């Protein structure tokens, strides 16, 4: 299956969550068995040579892709969640959004120092959440090998923001403009 075929499986929802936004909905790709399998295989081909110790997924669709990727690679999976969602003792980071602040957390000690991780999410837009997740992992002493995404919205600059902070970033599909 080609990248164009995968791209065609991603639904665009105009004016969501507000007027002027073209929401790129990967759930339609996830619902397509062959497309989902191809997406995970392509993510694995990028991740495998880096030989990570763990895959870390950002809430919520990063859990789906990250867990699938971890399974294919035979690696463990760690979720980075929004505040108050994890039952054990957590470590976290507060970060700024365009409309306020938010917090990401992970279980304390789940990512030991010097653990080599790949950070996964479905989409990179402005990059704030991914950058916060990378910073949280680094604060735990992790080595963030890469941030890996199914989709990039390059006009919003998130991938460039990560790279400027020293986090290699790659996406399989890009939606320019509109």
Q: DSSP secondary structure string, 93-120?
A: EEEEETTEEEEEEEETTSS-TT-EEEEE
Integer Cα distance of 34 and 112 in angstroms: 35
Verify whether residue 108 is a known catalytic residue. no
Give the bridge partners for 169, in sequence order: 147
Pair of tokens at residue 18 = 């507000």
Pairing relationship of beta strands 116-124 and 143-152 according to DSSP bridges: parallel
Pair of tokens at residue 1 = 């299956």
Verify whether residue 61 is a known catalytic residue. yes
Q: Which of 42, 48, 59, 61 is catalytic?
A: 61
Q: Which of 98, 103, 116, 139 is catalytic?
A: 98
Q: Which residues are catalytic?
A: 61, 98
């Amino acid at each position: 299956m080609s990248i164009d075929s995968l791209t065609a499986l991603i639904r665009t929802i105009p004016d969501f969550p507000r007027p002027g936004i073209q929401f790129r909905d990967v759930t339609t790709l996830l619902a397509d068995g062959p497309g989902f399998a191809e997406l995970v295989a392509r993510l694995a081909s990028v991740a495998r040579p880096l030989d990570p110790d763990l895959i870390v997924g950002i809430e919520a669709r990063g859990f789906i892709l990250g867990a699938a990727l971890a399974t294919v690679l035979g690696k463990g999976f760690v979720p980075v969640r929004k505040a108050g969602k994890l039952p054990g003792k957590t470590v976290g980071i507060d970060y700024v959004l365009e409309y306020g602040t938010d917090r990401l957390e992970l279980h304390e000690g789940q990512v030991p120092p010097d653990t080599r991780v790949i950070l996964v999410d479905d989409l990179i837009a402005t990059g704030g959440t991914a950058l916060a997740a990378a910073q949280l992992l680094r604060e735990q002493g992790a080595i963030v090998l890469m941030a890996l995404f199914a989709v990039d919205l390059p006009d919003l600059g998130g991938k460039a923001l990560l790279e400027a902070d020293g986090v290699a970033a790659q996406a399989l599909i890009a939606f320019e403009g509109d």
